C-alpha cells in the first residue's frame, strides 16, 4: 500500500530586483540569475531544492519592481520556517530569513512580502495583466549620470507625440510575431492594453508605459525600438503597424537596450470577489497559450 503524498501549501512571494548583474531571471548553470539566487536562498531555509514559478521571466539586465513568484511546500515545511516558535507567523519569518540568506546579493534582490496563496493561484497563469516602463533620455544636457544604469541614452531627439500616435496603432489583440522571439509550441498572440510615452516637464526624461495580458519574449523592447525609429524620423508614420501586420521577424526587428526596462506590476483577480477566479483565469490562460 503506497504512502499518500503530504498535503502542499502554495506560497506567494512579492519581490524586486536590480537586474544589472544578473543574466536574466531563469536559472542557467554557472551564471548569476535572479531565479538561481532566490532558489539558493530558499534551499538554505527549507533544506531541499525549491522550484519557483514566476509571473514574467525577464531578460538579462532587465529589472523588476513588482515581480511575483510562487512555490509549493508541505505543511510541515511551512510551519518549520519559524523553527518551531509557535508565536511566530511563518510569512514574515520567511521574509526575514530569506532576506538574510540573500544578503550576499548586496541589495540587488529584495523580498517585500510572503503569504499563503489563495486557492487556485498561479503566479504565471492567474495574472490578468503585467505592466512595464521604459526610460529614455534624448537630450545630452538633461542626462543624469546617477540614473545611467536604468536609462537608455538616445543620441537624437524624439517626437513623443509621433511615438504616441504609432503606439496607438498596435493596441488590442494581435499576433505580435514580428516583435517576439517565438518559443516552441507557444503562441505570440497577445492583448496590448496600454502603450504610450510621456515626457517629464522638469527632467525631459521620456517614459514608455506598456500593459498587456502577457508579453512574449522580447516584445516590450522590440515595440519600444520600433516606435523610437519613427520618433527619430528614421522610419515613416505607420511603419510600426505595417510591421505588425507583416508578421515577420527579420533584421528590421531591433531591440531597445535591456537596462532601461522595469517590470512594474502584475495584477491578479480578487479571490474575495470570486473564490474561483484565480483557478479559472489560470485554466483559460493555459488554453490560450497553446498555438493552434
- The Cα–Cα gap between 67 and 15 comes to 5
Tell how far CA 194 is from the center of its chain.
Answer: 16
Which residues fall within 8 angstroms of residue 223, CB to CB, at 6 or more apart? 167, 170, 176, 179, 192, 195, 210, 240
Active site residue 270: no
Among the listed residues 59, 122, 144, 213, the single catalytic one is: 59
* CA pseudo-torsion sign 16, 22, 24, 30: negative
How far apart, in whole angstroms, are the C-alpha atoms of residue 173 and residue 170? 9
Integer CA distances (angstroms), 125 to 90, 156, 216, 222, in order: 25, 40, 13, 23
CA distance 263 to 65: 6
Rg for the chain, CA atoms, rounded: 21
Strand partners, 54: 69
- 40 by Cβ neighbours in 10 Å (0-12 / 13-18 / 19+) ranks as middle
- Residues β-bridged to residue 211: 131, 194
CB 16 within 8 A of CB 65: yes
Closest CA to 55 of 67, 44, 64, 66: 67
Q: How many residues comprise the chain?
A: 292
What positions carry a catalytic annotation?
A: 59
Amino acid at each position: 500500500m503506497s504512502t499518500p503524498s503530504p498535503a502542499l501549501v502554495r506560497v506567494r512571494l512579492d519581490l524586486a530586483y536590480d537586474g544589472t548583474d544578473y543574466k536574466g531571471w531563469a536559472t542557467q548553470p554557472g551564471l548569476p540569475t535572479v531565479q538561481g539566487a532566490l532558489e539558493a536562498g530558499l534551499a538554505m531555509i527549507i533544506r531541499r531544492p525549491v522550484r519557483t514559478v514566476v509571473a514574467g521571466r525577464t531578460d538579462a539586465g532587465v529589472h523588476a519592481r513588482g515581480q511575483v513568484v510562487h512555490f509549493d511546500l508541505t505543511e510541515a515545511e511551512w510551519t518549520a520556517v519559524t523553527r518551531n516558535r509557535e508565536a511566530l507567523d511563518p510569512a514574515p519569518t520567511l521574509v526575514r530569513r530569506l532576506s538574510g540568506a540573500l544578503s550576499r546579493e548586496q541589495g540587488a534582490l529584495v523580498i517585500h512580502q510572503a503569504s499563503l496563496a489563495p486557492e487556485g493561484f498561479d503566479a504565471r497563469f492567474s495574472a490578468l495583466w503585467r505592466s512595464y516602463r521604459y526610460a529614455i533620455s534624448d537630450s545630452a544636457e538633461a542626462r543624469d549620470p546617477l540614473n545611467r544604469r536604468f536609462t537608455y541614452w538616445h543620441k537624437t531627439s524624439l517626437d513623443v507625440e509621433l511615438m504616441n500616435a504609432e503606439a496607438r496603432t498596435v493596441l488590442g489583440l494581435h499576433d505580435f510575431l514580428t516583435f517576439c522571439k517565438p518559443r516552441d509550441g507557444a503562441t505570440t498572440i497577445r492583448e496590448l492594453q496600454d502603450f504610450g510615452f510621456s515626457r517629464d516637464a522638469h527632467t525631459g526624461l521620456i517614459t514608455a508605459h506598456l500593459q498587456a495580458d502577457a508579453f512574449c519574449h522580447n516584445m516590450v523592447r522590440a515595440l519600444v525600438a520600433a516606435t523610437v525609429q519613427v520618433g527619430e524620423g528614421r522610419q515613416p508614420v505607420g511603419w510600426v503597424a505595417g510591421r505588425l501586420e507583416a508578421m515577420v521577424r527579420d533584421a528590421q526587428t531591433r531591440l531597445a537596450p535591456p537596462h532601461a526596462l522595469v517590470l512594474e506590476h502584475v495584477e491578479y483577480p480578487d479571490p474575495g470577489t470570486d473564490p474561483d477566479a484565480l483557478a479559472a483565469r489560470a485554466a483559460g490562460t493555459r488554453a490560450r497559450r497553446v498555438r493552434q
